[in-house]
């Protein structure tokens, strides 16, 4: 029998300053060619395990490590992350944290160059890796001009180019559109089958991974609580219920054009954009976009990575100024007003939560928006306490926000916005990094905002969530708004256009996804 690629014996790790171990007595063996999916609640230690497997722990994080970690036959205590780079490759939760060059070509070539591969081999690997993740033709693009999903693809390509024995992906589909998800998982499957690469994927979105996994490992509170074989996987296909929504079917709400059945009856829009165009360098990010939103609407903004979704949210808040067109709020043209003025009525959570964390403790971060923007500070601060408790962050009150997991950071930024109750929520992929229980909490909060007559505009790549909770869909393609209408009609139109990846599970099953991957 071949030697294992990974062998963990009694692994325990406690971060400096913490009384509770992040990992407790982990025993795990992964053999060449195995495909292992690891899941568990947000903050349970999954990312810490990934850092242990690549040598960042114990070499780059302060803390105490006990037990043994052997990767590719090498003990990580005596082998640095650089020395392990050709053996184990990690794609982190936050792709920006591992991008270190200015353009796409240099980023993918960086790893192979550092292990001194011949130039011709580097060129072949760069071309293959970029093609594999759908970034062919991006070689001269500057990294900072890429969308969040494109950066995630780039991070994956940079690791694929190393052809490691062990590939570790920490929520690789988190920022990817459904088509990108299919493409990336197809590449992972090919590596697994053709190169005997051992694969470890850390994910909450299990429905697309389980058909290709040899094992499912569940981690809870730092411990492995289950290591399952394929025949038992069906218990882990996700379903969710949202209080006040599930029993009503498709959000229990009317289309955006049926004013009489919305939570708040209004004949005039609260927010409208008219003929908005935005250009970045030579690229048109938004092209003459127009729509109007009414109180009580929950709107999904969908489309491929780089189609203009995040740019739209930034235009609405005033972070990005349009080249033409105007933004109207409550019948007033606010195109020329600043972010600070708009923020009282519009609360934005960024795609990357690290871009909006400023304070030294979780409690200060959660309260920060309220101090500047709340109409009633006392009530807003009470809501902070309630939300911290509901979102399972109250125990981290005095911790540094950057020490939280990605999912926890996303919840923290949402709390800071929900607490002061802006009329419009602008949420850029708020569901990233959330386990099933936290997903239900977030969606219940959005539904409560809707019931109060608030508008939610949510960039979302989860068709099933959109089906359950959204009244309307804005679908973008290459900067153009190609569909604007009720959710049910949106899925019919997407099916007609052949965009099956964007259909909910009832329309686009796991078996169909598997077939699409095999054919891609």
State which residues form the domain around 161.
6-236
Name the helix (H) or strand (E) containing 215: strand 215-220
- Residue 261 tokens read as 């059945």
The whole-number pLDDT of residue 519 equals: 39
Last residue of a domain, one of 236, 261, 282: 236
Strands (E) across 87-146 are located at 88-91
% the chain with pLDDT above 90: 62
Q: Provide the mean pLDDT of the chain.
A: 87
- Return phi, psi of residue 495, to 5°: -65, -40
Say if residue 424's pLDDT is above 90.
yes
Calpha distance 446→456 (Å, rounded): 7
Per residue in 207-239, pLDDT tens? 778 888 899 999 999 999 999 886 676 665 555
The whole-number pLDDT of residue 204 equals: 80
Calpha distance 259→294 (Å, rounded): 8
Establish if 499 belongs to a structural domain.
no
What number is the average pLDDT over the span 163-177? Answer: 85
Q: State the pTM of this model.
A: 0.78
The whole-number pLDDT of residue 464 equals: 87
Calpha distance 414→422 (Å, rounded): 12
Calpha distance 307→476 (Å, rounded): 6
Whether the bond into 58 is cis, omega within 30 of 0:
yes
Per residue in 259-292, pLDDT tens? 334 446 567 999 999 999 999 877 899 999 999 9
The whole-number pLDDT of residue 507 equals: 37
What number is the average pLDDT over the span 67-88? Answer: 92
Establish if 518 belongs to a structural domain.
no
The whole-number pLDDT of residue 508 equals: 35
Q: How confident is the model at residue 505 (pLDDT cuts 50, 70, 90)?
A: low
Distance between the two ends of the chain, CA-based, in angstroms?
A: 33
Whether residues 10 and 64 fall in one domain? yes
Whether residues 208 and 270 fall in one domain? no
Q: How confident is the model at residue 338 (pLDDT cuts 50, 70, 90)?
A: very high
Whether residues 144 and 270 fall in one domain? no
Say if residue 511's pLDDT is above 50.
no
Which tops the pLDDT comparison, 94 or 492?
492
Last residue of a domain, one of 236, 254, 274: 236
Calpha distance 185→193 (Å, rounded): 12
Q: Which of 206, 188, 210 is nearest to 197 (CA)?
A: 188
Per residue in 45-64, pLDDT tens? 999 999 999 999 999 999 99
Establish if 492 belongs to a structural domain.
no
Q: How confident is the model at residue 515 (pLDDT cuts 50, 70, 90)?
A: very low
What number is the average pLDDT over the span 415-442? Answer: 90
- Residue 342 tokens read as 């708009």
The whole-number pLDDT of residue 509 equals: 39
Say if residue 516's pLDDT is above 50.
no
Q: How confident is the model at residue 256 (pLDDT cuts 50, 70, 90)?
A: very low
% the chain with pLDDT above 70: 90
Whether residues 229 and 273 fall in one domain? no
Say if residue 434's pLDDT is above 50.
yes
CATH number where 198 lies: 3.40.50.300
Instruction: Give every CB contact of residue 152 below 8 A, 6+ residues apart in sequence.
Output: 91, 95, 172, 174, 175, 176, 305
Whether residues 232 and 294 fall in one domain? no
Contacts of 409-414 with CB under 8 Å at 24 or more apart are: 409/353, 409/354, 409/357, 409/433, 410/349, 410/353, 410/434, 411/42, 411/438, 411/442, 412/353, 412/357, 412/362, 412/365, 412/366, 413/349, 413/350, 413/353, 413/356, 413/357, 414/349, 414/442, 414/445
Whether residues 208 and 262 fall in one domain? no
Which tops the pLDDT comparison, 349 or 516?
349
Q: Which residue has the tokens 């089958």?
A: 193
- Residue 403 tokens read as 């020490």
Calpha distance 10→488 (Å, rounded): 51
Calpha distance 176→309 (Å, rounded): 13
Calpha distance 445→452 (Å, rounded): 11
Beta carbons of 409 and 438 less than 8 angstroms apart: no
Establish if 505 belongs to a structural domain.
no
What number is the average pLDDT over the span 366-380? Answer: 95
Q: How confident is the model at residue 361 (pLDDT cuts 50, 70, 90)?
A: very high
Largest CA distance in the chain: 72
Say if residue 510's pLDDT is above 80.
no
Establish if 478 belongs to a structural domain.
yes
Calpha distance 39→173 (Å, rounded): 14
Whether residues 276 and 208 fall in one domain? no
Establish if 446 belongs to a structural domain.
yes
Establish if 40 belongs to a structural domain.
yes
DSSP string, 291-309: EEE-TT-EEEEEESTTSSH
Whether residues 183 and 296 fall in one domain? no
- Provide Rg for the chain, Cα atoms: 23
Whether residues 274 and 194 fall in one domain? no
Whether residues 230 and 267 fall in one domain? no
Calpha distance 420→413 (Å, rounded): 12
Total domains in the chain come to 2
Say if residue 492's pLDDT is above 60.
yes
Establish if 507 belongs to a structural domain.
no
Say if residue 178's pLDDT is above 90.
no
Whether residues 34 and 135 fall in one domain? yes
Say if residue 349's pLDDT is above 90.
yes
Per residue in 124-161, pLDDT tens? 999 999 988 889 989 999 998 888 778 888 998 999 89
The whole-number pLDDT of residue 387 equals: 96
Whether residues 213 and 308 fall in one domain? no
Q: How confident is the model at residue 254 (pLDDT cuts 50, 70, 90)?
A: very low
């Amino acid at each position: 029998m071949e030697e294992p690629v990974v062998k963990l014996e009694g692994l325990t790790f406690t971060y400096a300053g913490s009384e509770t171990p992040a990992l407790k007595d982990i025993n795990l063996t992964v053999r060449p060619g195995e495909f292992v999916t690891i899941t568990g609640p947000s903050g349970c230690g999954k990312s810490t395990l990934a850092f242990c497997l690549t040598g960042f722990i114990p070499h780059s994080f302060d803390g105490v490590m006990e037990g043994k970690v052997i990767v590719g036959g090498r003990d990580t205590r005596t082998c640095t992350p650089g020395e392990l780079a050709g053996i184990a490759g990690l794609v982190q939760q936050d792709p920006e944290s591992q991008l270190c060059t200015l353009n796409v070509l240099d980023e993918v070539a960086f790893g192979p160059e550092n292990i001194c591969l011949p130039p011709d081999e580097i060129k072949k690997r760069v071309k293959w890796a970029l093609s594999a993740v759908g970034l062919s033709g991006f070689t001269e693009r500057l990294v900072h001009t890429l969308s969040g999903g494109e950066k995630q693809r780039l991070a994956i390509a940079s690791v694929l180019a190393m052809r490691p024995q062990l590939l570790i992906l920490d929520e690789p589909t988190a920022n990817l559109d459904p088509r990108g998800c299919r493409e990336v998982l197809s590449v992972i499957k090919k590596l697994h089958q053709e190169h005997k690469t051992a694969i470890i994927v850390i994910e909450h979105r299990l429905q697309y991974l389980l058909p290709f996994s040899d094992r499912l490992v569940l981690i809870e509170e730092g411990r492995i609580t289950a290591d399952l074989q394929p025949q038992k996987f069906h218990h882990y296909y996700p379903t969710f219920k949202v209080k006040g929504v599930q029993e009503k079917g498709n959000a229990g709400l009317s289309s955006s054009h049926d004013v009489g059945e919305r939570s708040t009856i209004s004949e005039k829009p609260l927010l409208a954009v008219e003929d908005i165009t935005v250009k970045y360098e030579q690229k048109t990010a938004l092209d003459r976009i127009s729509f109007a939103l009414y109180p009580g609407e929950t709107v999904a903004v969908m489309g491929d990575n780089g189609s203009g979704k995040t740019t739209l949210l930034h235009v609405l808040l005033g972070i990005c100024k349009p080249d033409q067109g105007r933004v109207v709020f409550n019948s007033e043209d606010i195109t020329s007003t600043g972010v600070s003025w708009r923020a009282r009525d519009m609360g934005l959570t960024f795609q990357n939560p690290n871009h909006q964390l400023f304070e030294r403790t979780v409690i200060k971060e959660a309260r920060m928006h309220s101090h500047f923007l709340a109409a009633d500070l006392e009530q807003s601060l009470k809501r902070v306490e309630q939300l911290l408790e509901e979102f399972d962050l109250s125990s981290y009150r005095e911790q540094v926000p950057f020490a939280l997991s990605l999912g926890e950071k996303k919840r923290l930024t949402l709390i800071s916005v929900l607490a002061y109750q802006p009329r419009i929520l602008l949420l850029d992929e708020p569901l990233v990094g959330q386990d099933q229980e936290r997903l239900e909490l977030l969606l219940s909060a959005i539904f409560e905002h809707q019931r109060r007559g608030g508008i939610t505009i949510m960039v979302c790549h989860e068709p099933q969530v959109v089906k359950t909770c959204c009244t309307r869909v804005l679908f973008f393609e290459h900067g153009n708004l190609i569909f604007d209408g009720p959710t049910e009609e949106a899925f019919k139109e997407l099916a007609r256009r052949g965009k099956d990846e964007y259909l909910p599970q009832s329309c686009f099953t796991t078996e169909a996804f598997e077939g699409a991957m095999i054919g891609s």
